[in-house]
Amino acid sequence: MAELIVALDLATARAALELVDRLGDVVRWYKVGPVLHVADGPAVVRGLTERGKAVFLDLKWHDIPNTVAGAGEAAADAGVAMATVHLTGGPRMLESAAGARRGRIALTGVGVLTSLDAAEFGAVLGRPVADLAQEQQRLVRLGMATGLDGYVTAAAEARAVRSLAGAGVAIVVPGIRRATDAVQDQVRTATPREAAAAGADYLVVGRPVTRAADPAAEARALVEDLRR
């Protein structure tokens, strides 16, 4: 069954770990992003691993091969289970990152950021872009050639990525909402059940849980949606 990952988009380790303790056994996976990581990263990662939680470090690395390989090793040493790299970092960066991890950390690739439209991504590439889904698939192929462990993708593209990348890779889908949750600034949301049916292994949800009056009840309801 697909696993829920709660995005700890909070400002301090203390606030994040208080939430983790409120969620208790309901949630095992947590995503740590750049804001919390810059503020308090090592304390959060330590606090999570000490509690037996799995850490998804979402820093979307994009740097020279040696630096990304070093970041992957440092994250694995800290006990991180899964991290993100930009597929646009190129084959040598991806190969270097994949080679350095030696199975200790799963590396998932981010293709086209969902905040970009075709015109903006075309400006990055220096050529017209007709179809962002095709660009995403082209980048996933690059990841497949370099042995990445998985991909981050919107629910709408999860099925295409799964059929391209096969059964063995991890598919991580953000923008998860129950039908009754506020969509906030997300554009293409999916319920846990819809995302799992499209091939997702990991379902990333932030504000519906972190801002709930009863976060554990909300997380339980999201897991329950999968079983319906």
Residues forming contacts to ligand C5P in the complex (CB under 6 A) are 7, 9, 33, 114, 152, 174-175, 184, 186, 204-207
Question: How many Å apart are CA 107 and CA 100, to the nearest integer?
Answer: 11
* Residue 9 or 201 having the CB closest to ligand C5P: 9
* Residue number with CB closer to ligand C5P (31 or 101): 31
Dist CA 167 CA 156 (whole Å): 18
What's the closest the beta carbon of residue 179 comes to ligand C5P, in angstroms? 15
Residue 216 phi, psi (nearest 5): -65, -40
Half-sphere exposure of 143 (CA within 13 A, CB side): 30
Kindly state the smallest distance separating residue 52's Cβ from ligand C5P, in Å. 22
Nearer to ligand C5P, 114 or 137 (CB): 114
- The least CB distance from residue 64 to ligand C5P, in Å, is 24
| Residue 60 bears catalytic tag | yes
Q: What's the min distance (Å) between Cβ of 150 and ligand C5P?
A: 13
Pairs from 22-26 (Cβ < 8 Å, separation ≥ 24): 22/215, 22/216, 23/209, 23/215, 23/216, 23/219, 24/216, 26/216, 26/219, 26/220, 26/223
Catalytic, out of 22, 60, 62, 104: 60
**On the CB side of 37, how many CA atoms lie within 13 Å of its CA?**
17
Spatial separation of the C-alpha atoms in residues 149 and 37, rounded to whole Å: 23
Residue numbers annotated as active site: 60
